[in-house]
Structure 1
């Protein structure tokens, strides 16, 4: 019951918050309505993020690299002190870890530097960025489609189950994709502010956000460039010469933020950097790690991640854009979704998180469609069907949110295997090695030990002992007698995470 009661309380408070937010919106009090969206969305994210263990894919790797970055921010490592041979082609067991761009990892490292090495500090940047995304979606939607549509888009962002799950690290690509979503959204917001104010400072800041997005998840961040052009040209506040100059400034600032890290890693870690760069492009032409699907993979995934009705607003919006391509605001929303959709649909490697940064566009499309339906005036039976459809557009996202947040599911959110590692950390030596532990990445996050899932040969264990390491072996009844008898080897029974 201790897990169930907080879940029930969270749901009740959030439902009350969303209901009151809707009432304020109906009275045209968007300030209070937005505040309630932010508070309710934040509570959902906090609840989901209070799993007191590292999730298997991919959070545990990001967590360990971020922990190591606390000590050397420009030297990303997974195994900080590798004691056994490793292959830099194998990112889950590597030493220098360049598998992801560093921005999200730096944010997590900074948070843990401030608040300690724990799961909440690890997830705090994602909680804050994901919650801020609610406001950014409101601001962007208001500019592109009006207050009502902006509010609805912000609501859809607030309750979206996939975004909330990623914030809590529960599903693959987790905090990396949340950071990418945030910086793309921030670049768009700053582009709008620049277009409205004509102040070059905001264009420079948009360039910084673009660079940060590139440092979060590489070249897909370039979607900001056509969005910037459409937003700025649509404003009517600039001559073409000024637009060209400011575009050069935007891309130049983005490059100044992004390129130094790329140059640095190719000089400092040339083999690893070359391999990871090659792998980035191989994702387009090859299936990597069995992550694939048919060409309609993402067309199918949006049904799962955004609700079955999402196809109606999507097709309607595309049709409206084709009929009126001079509506640059509508065209910007379409470009935001359509270019990545086509690009990633053609790529051989596919994962649901690849399209996350297009979520605000889908939310705006759905919101505009909802507003259009709500304004249809008729007294026939058709009106009742429309009302049912309008209600479903609101309820389905809530249902998906509850399915992913899992507030009514009894689960162990503070498992014994984590408690065991925390206890081990209190007694572990500074120069220690843990062998035969099935979850070595988690062990290295919770302790100061260097951990491996296997037991090396007796000669290797002797060599570790001779070098002054304390060798701890997880005793699962399979420790070779020769190793168990070595002086300096400690046998310890440790609980392990359930097999994934």
Structure 2
């Protein structure tokens, strides 16, 4: 498997740290070790090479880079010198194709750690460590510490989440961070259920707002089991707190969309209409049968683990049927939606992983504990499928990725002492313009060389045979 030595070192250390956490009885130390394991595995794969991925990651990276300078004015191109289509999210100016929260996290990381692929991925890496900690905490209230540990294992060795956190699967950091927001809102609701006070109601609202501002209205998910729990128990005593939490969730969302419709009315109106089309129209060719998302369970979690996650739903949630109904609602909702994308239902990774963890913990209680432990851990390690991830991340045997890597290195050398913000570069391949935008401040176009009219203050160049060829100096 063609992976750097440091990747193998971090992977091995992460597995060892996670296995050590099984024997730890100090809860805080156990949480720390589980966090390190979850973040460590993503860090290992995120640092294989300095290369942004197509399609989505490179665009998210560019917008986040620009938002690190102007957080409330998201742009793909900060400026254009040629006419452009504002409806084309891969080449427009103002960029409202995705809500801003995950981009803000990436922008903060870029501001702190510089313009690099790793900086783009750090928020996903951190959240990938927080999610299994939240799973263990939830399970202590919903099932058992043992079930929570195995739920954490299902997440930590989950290949889908690794691909998202490393930008190798649509829509990468957007779906990973959204899953984290949903998981944390679920965790906060479980904490709220113990005390039912204002503090936790407000905290739930804030977490829900981050979810909605990362994806869209499916970020409201946690309110569904909350309402259904009130129906099940016929207890509406905390209705005021529910309304308070909804209000807190709505305020940042309303503020952001009010701002975008005021500041960027044309782009905001188009993107709002475009988002609504996803339910009725298979946008960008993303179509599939009604059972598409049910089948994706076995891609998200693997065939074996996916089966365990399904088998554990009823025994784990039988006394909390609102959780089963809420989970199924997501799958049924997207079954009816015309647009089918795998990541849409990955938001349910937390309740699914808890279900699978519950089954493994139950098996440990029925059979020899260490036999089940060893078999389950080996199965999860095999499911991580490092050979497959290695092939996906490989550069040397992939001419396309090798070409992108060479362009990246050329750009890093070209911008070593100058961000090149006074350059316009023509003939850049359409799917690689984002590399120019991220690693330089030059303005790239896929069009062939055009007239220099209106570009006298720019240096003009063209991309040819893997090099930037100057054609006109701004001094001329």
User: TM-score, length-normalised on structure 1?
Assistant: 0.85
Residue of structure 2 in register with 1:436 after alignment: 427
The alpha-carbon distance between structure 1 residues 406 and 424, as it changes in their structure 2 partners (threshold 3 A), is same
Aligned to 2:460, the other structure's residue is in SS state: strand
Structure 2: how far apart are the matches of 1:171 and 1:218?
19
The alpha-carbon distance between structure 1 residues 249 and 136, as it changes in their structure 2 partners (threshold 3 A), is same
Shift of the alpha carbon at 1:241?
4.6
206-215 or 310-319, larger mean C-alpha shift: 310-319
Asked if the contact 1:4/1:408 (under 8 Å) is kept, the reply is: no
Asked if the contact 2:462/2:471 (under 8 Å) is kept, the reply is: no
1:429-484 CA-partner distances (Å, limit 9, x unpaired) = 43111111111111011001011122243xxx321443x111111124999xxxx9
Residue of structure 1 in register with 2:385 after alignment: 402
Residue of structure 1 in register with 2:447 after alignment: 454
Structure 2: how far apart are the matches of 1:336 and 1:137?
17
The alpha-carbon distance between structure 1 residues 19 and 70, as it changes in their structure 2 partners (threshold 3 A), is closer
The alpha-carbon distance between structure 1 residues 336 and 12, as it changes in their structure 2 partners (threshold 3 A), is same
Asked if the contact 2:157/2:381 (under 8 Å) is kept, the reply is: yes
Is structure 2 residue 289 aligned with structure 1 residue 294?
Answer: yes
The alpha-carbon distance between structure 1 residues 430 and 271, as it changes in their structure 2 partners (threshold 3 A), is closer
Residue of structure 1 in register with 2:325 after alignment: 335
Structure 1: how far apart are the matches of 2:344 and 2:153?
22
Residue of structure 1 in register with 2:7 after alignment: 7
Is structure 2 residue 69 aligned with structure 1 residue 71?
Answer: yes
Shift of the alpha carbon at 1:204?
0.5
Residue of structure 2 in register with 1:493 after alignment: none
User: TM-score, length-normalised on structure 2?
Assistant: 0.89
Structure 2: how far apart are the matches of 1:189 and 1:456?
55
Larger Rg: 1
Aligned to 1:216, the other structure's residue is in SS state: coil
Aligned to 2:222, the other structure's residue is in SS state: helix
Structure 1: how far apart are the matches of 2:383 and 2:335?
24
1:237-294 CA-partner distances (Å, limit 9, x unpaired) = xx94531101100101001121111111112212211111111121111111111222
Residue of structure 1 in register with 2:462 after alignment: 473
Matches within 5 A, 1:214-253: 214-229=212-227, 240-253=235-248
Shift of the alpha carbon at 1:200?
0.9
Residue of structure 2 in register with 1:488 after alignment: 473
Shift of the alpha carbon at 1:315?
4.2
Residue of structure 1 in register with 2:20 after alignment: 20
Residue of structure 2 in register with 1:281 after alignment: 276
Q: 1:107 aligns with which of 96, 105, 110?
A: 105
Structure 2: how far apart are the matches of 1:59 and 1:405?
17
Asked if the contact 2:66/2:75 (under 8 Å) is kept, the reply is: yes
Residue of structure 2 in register with 1:497 after alignment: none
Residue of structure 1 in register with 2:42 after alignment: 45
The alpha-carbon distance between structure 1 residues 14 and 87, as it changes in their structure 2 partners (threshold 3 A), is same
Structure 2: how far apart are the matches of 1:113 and 1:485?
30
Matches within 5 A, 1:3-402: 3-22=3-22, 24=23, 31-50=28-47, 51-229=49-227, 240-320=235-315, 324=318, 327-328=319-320, 331-376=321-366, 393-402=376-385
Q: Which runs of 5+ in 2 are unaligned?
A: none
1:55-108 CA-partner distances (Å, limit 9, x unpaired) = 112110001111111222111111110111111221111111110000011111
The alpha-carbon distance between structure 1 residues 353 and 311, as it changes in their structure 2 partners (threshold 3 A), is closer
Aligned to 1:292, the other structure's residue is in SS state: coil
Structure 1: how far apart are the matches of 2:117 and 2:78?
20
Residue of structure 2 in register with 1:380 after alignment: none
Aligned to 1:350, the other structure's residue is in SS state: coil
Aligned length: 464
Q: Which runs of 5+ in 1 are unaligned?
A: 378-382, 491-500
The alpha-carbon distance between structure 1 residues 312 and 407, as it changes in their structure 2 partners (threshold 3 A), is closer
The alpha-carbon distance between structure 1 residues 241 and 387, as it changes in their structure 2 partners (threshold 3 A), is closer
The alpha-carbon distance between structure 1 residues 485 and 91, as it changes in their structure 2 partners (threshold 3 A), is closer
RMSD: 3.0
Structure 1: how far apart are the matches of 2:76 and 2:164?
21
Structure 2: how far apart are the matches of 1:304 and 1:393?
18
The alpha-carbon distance between structure 1 residues 58 and 288, as it changes in their structure 2 partners (threshold 3 A), is same
